[in-house]
Amino acid sequence: MRFDFDVYGTALEPHPDQRNTLRYLGDVAQLAERHGFEGLLSFYNHRNLDPWMVAATLLHTTTTLVPLVAVQPYAVGPLTTAKMVHTLSSLHGRRVDVNLITGAAKEELVQIGDTIDHDQRYARAMEHMQVVSSLLGSNEPFNHDGAHYRFRGLRADAALDPQLHPRVFVAGASEAGRKAAFAVGDVAVTHPEPVQLFAEGFLASHAAAVRAAARQPPRVGIRVGLVARPTSEEAWEFARTQYVADRYTRLKMSMRKKSDSVWSRQMAALATEGDVYDEVYWTGAYRSDQGFAPLLVGDYEQVAQYLAEYLTLGVSTVLLAAVYSEEDFRHVDRVLTLLR
What's residue 104's pLDDT?
67
Total domains in the chain come to 1
Question: How does strand 219-229 pair with strand 315-321?
Answer: parallel
Asked if the structure places residue 165 within a domain, the reply is yes
Q: Which domain holds residue 213?
A: 6-339
Asked if the structure places residue 119 within a domain, the reply is yes
Length of the chain in residues, anyone?
340
Asked if the structure places residue 289 within a domain, the reply is yes
Name the average pLDDT for the chain: 92
* Out of 110-119, 207-216, 275-284, least confident range: 207-216
CA distance 37 to 221: 15
Q: 40 has which bridge partners?
A: 9, 67
Asked if the structure places residue 35 within a domain, the reply is yes
C-beta of residue 65 within 8 angstroms of C-beta of residue 37: yes
Asked if the structure places residue 1 within a domain, the reply is no
Query: Which residues fall within 8 angstroms of residue 155, CB to CB, at 6 or more apart?
Result: 139, 141, 142
Query: What is the reported pTM?
Result: 0.93
Asked if the structure places residue 262 within a domain, the reply is yes
User: What are 70-111's pLDDT values in tens digits?
Assistant: 999 999 999 999 999 999 999 999 999 999 999 767 788 888
- The CATH number of residue 48's host domain is 3.20.20.30
Burial label, 30 (beta-carbon count in 10 A; 0-12, 13-18, 19+): middle
| Percent of all residues in the chain with a pLDDT value above 70, rounded to a whole number | 98
Asked if the structure places residue 136 within a domain, the reply is yes
CA distance 268 to 270: 5
pLDDT for 126 beyond 90 = yes
> Across residues 200-222, what is the average pLDDT?
89
User: What are 31-53's pLDDT values in tens digits?
Assistant: 999 999 999 999 898 888 999 99
DSSP secondary structure letters along 163-177: GGPPPEEEE--SHHH
What's residue 105's pLDDT?
75
User: What are 315-324's pLDDT values in tens digits?
Assistant: 999 999 999 9
Asked if the structure places residue 279 within a domain, the reply is yes
